[in-house]
Chain A
């Protein structure tokens, strides 16, 4: 069956360090993968999209990698800040228009 796995345990890091979150998938051949941020009780907010033919994408302090051989995407936040504390979701689609989400990883950045 198809699975999208993100670390269920919360990630606690110190301010200023780099946070790395993992998204692994099985039985998908995703055309693209998206990362979202979600704060408690609020809707997800889109962060980055990376396509199957792209290895890496950057946006300000964010970096996403996409390894279709390992079936994994890594999401990095450099110089993390307490304001980065949230749940981060990965989502992918084989092709087309049905987007499937992982359960998310909670990130806590402490001063």
Chain B
């Protein structure tokens, strides 16, 4: 089954304790992306990646890191989490083309993060 998986699904942590949210897709998509969703603010893009070793900032990259060492994985790293990073996080993947841009984006189930 084609899918995007994220782990963990729920996480409660404390300020300053480094954490990683993993994301994996089994569709051989080049493009992967991380979003956060907050009430009243909607979905905002954090980082995206066009392919292995190629990443770029989205609208709200501050406080986050990503890496793309393998095509299927795109982990989101919070080196020193703060309470304002409490949010619902989604990973997504997609095919894309130079001519057509992004195709269907497939989203993961979400990771609900609480930073105390």
Q: Which residues of B contact A51 (CB under 8 A)?
A: 100
Q: Which residues of B contact A102 (CB under 8 A)?
A: 42
Q: Fill in one digit per residue for B65-77: 1 if any A CB lies within 8 Å of its CB, else 0.
A: 0000000000000
A34: Cβ under 8 A from any B Cβ:
yes
Are B101 and A93 closer than 8 Å at their CB atoms? yes
B50: Cβ under 8 A from any A Cβ:
yes
Smallest CB–CB gap between A59 and chain B, Å?
A: 12
Are B59 and A103 closer than 8 Å at their CB atoms? no
Closest Cβ neighbor of B39 among chain A residues: A103
Q: Which of B76-116 contact A (CB under 8 A)?
A: 88, 90, 92, 96, 100-110
Q: Which residues of A contact B13 (CB under 8 A)?
A: none
* Interface size, chain A (Cβ < 8 Å): 25
Q: Which residues of B contact A99 (CB under 8 A)?
A: 33, 45, 102, 105
Closest Cβ neighbor of A32 among chain B residues: B101
Q: Fill in one digit per residue for A36-68: 1 if any B CB lies within 8 Å of its CB, else 0.
A: 100001111110010100000000000000000
Residues of chain A having any CB pair with chain B under 8 Å: 31-32, 34, 36, 41-46, 49, 51, 89, 91, 93, 95-104
Residues of chain B having any CB pair with chain A under 8 Å: 4, 31, 33, 35, 40-45, 48, 50, 56, 58-59, 88, 90, 92, 96, 100-110
